[in-house]
Amino acid sequence: MANGGIIGPVQTVCSGQSQVIHSKTSTGSLTLGSKTTAIDYIVVAGGAGGGGAYGGGGGAGGFRTGSSVTVSSGATLCATVGGAGAASTGSYSGGSAGGTGGNSVLSGGGITTVTSNGGGGGGSWNSARCGVNGGSAGGASLAGCGGTGNTPPTSPSQGNNGGKASPGPDNAGGGGGAGGVGACGSPSGCGNGGAGGVGVASTITGSPVFYAGGGGGMGTSTAGAGGNGGGGAGRAGISTGNGTAGTANTGGGGGGGIYEVNSANGGSGIVI
């Protein structure tokens, strides 16, 4: 196991072991101890906002991880934690796509800088139908195209594509998640929104926790579910209402709205 941790308040996992976990939910730094020689980490960017007016789900923030990475003893690590992407804004027929999440970055201590890119916003009818590219990408609105995930590209991949939407005003694609693509919205007449892509489980804190799930697309009958990992569900039904926001500090994407511009924010990122 790596000795030492990343950023933030100390949490002792188990007495008698030298591994210590640090999690950071806002930008900050940590000076490593003199005996710390390697670290494990996850870097999760902010999730994107969902689209409004037949809105696609917001893409999850990029997810990157490393194990037993050599560091310089006594050095300082710096973390930037990406904020949540904002919900779509504008008029019913001319709303913007959901806002892109903020990047999360881990640097210093002799490591190669690790950047996870914010999720791409969900598409909105009718001026911004396609999902936005990002760490994981946004889902589409009304016959639009899903965005391209893993943008810019990393290896291993930090995320996945958003789902497309079939013709018709009663469906939208789900946002991509770190562990899977966003589902496509159903054909016109079915009214089922696409589910957000699943996130990725990490055991860095001991028990498995999912991060970076995509937001669900809206559906007039059934909303797309949020992806496991903090993704918010889309709005269901034909009345005005909001999608569900992504969960804070998971990098989950926000759910798409249906009438007016009433999507939801994404979830902020985290560095552990």
Q: What is the pLDDT of residues 57-66, one digit of tens each?
A: 999 999 999 9
pLDDT band at residue 260 using 50, 70 and 90 as cut-offs? low
Residue 267 near residue 230 (C-beta atoms within 8 A) = yes
Q: For residues 254 and 239, which has the higher predicted lDDT (pLDDT)?
A: 254
Which tokens is 54 given?
A: 């037949």
Residue 257 near residue 241 (C-beta atoms within 8 A) = yes
Q: What is the pLDDT of residues 175-201, one digit of tens each?
A: 999 999 999 988 765 678 999 999 999
Q: For residues 218 and 149, which has the higher predicted lDDT (pLDDT)?
A: 149
pLDDT band at residue 14 using 50, 70 and 90 as cut-offs? very low
From 225, 253, 139, 64, select the one nearest 148 (Cα to Cα): 139
pLDDT at 171: 84
Q: What is the pLDDT of residues 65-95, one digit of tens each?
A: 999 999 998 889 999 999 999 998 866 666 7
Whether 222 shows a pLDDT value over 80: the answer reads yes
Mean pLDDT of 122-150: 93
pLDDT at 16: 30
Average pLDDT value for the chain: 86
pLDDT band at residue 261 using 50, 70 and 90 as cut-offs? low
Beta strand segments in the chain, E: 10-12, 20-22, 28-31, 38-44, 63-70, 76-80, 104-108, 114-116, 200-202, 209-211, 270-271
Mean pLDDT of 96-119: 95
CA distance 43 to 64: 5
pTM of whole model > 0.85? yes
Whether 30 shows a pLDDT value over 90: the answer reads no
Collapse the DSSP code of 79 into the 3-class scheme (helix H, G, I; strand E, B; otherwise coil) and give the result. strand
Using only C-alpha atoms, what is the Rg of the chain?
18
CB atoms within 10 A of CB 77: 27
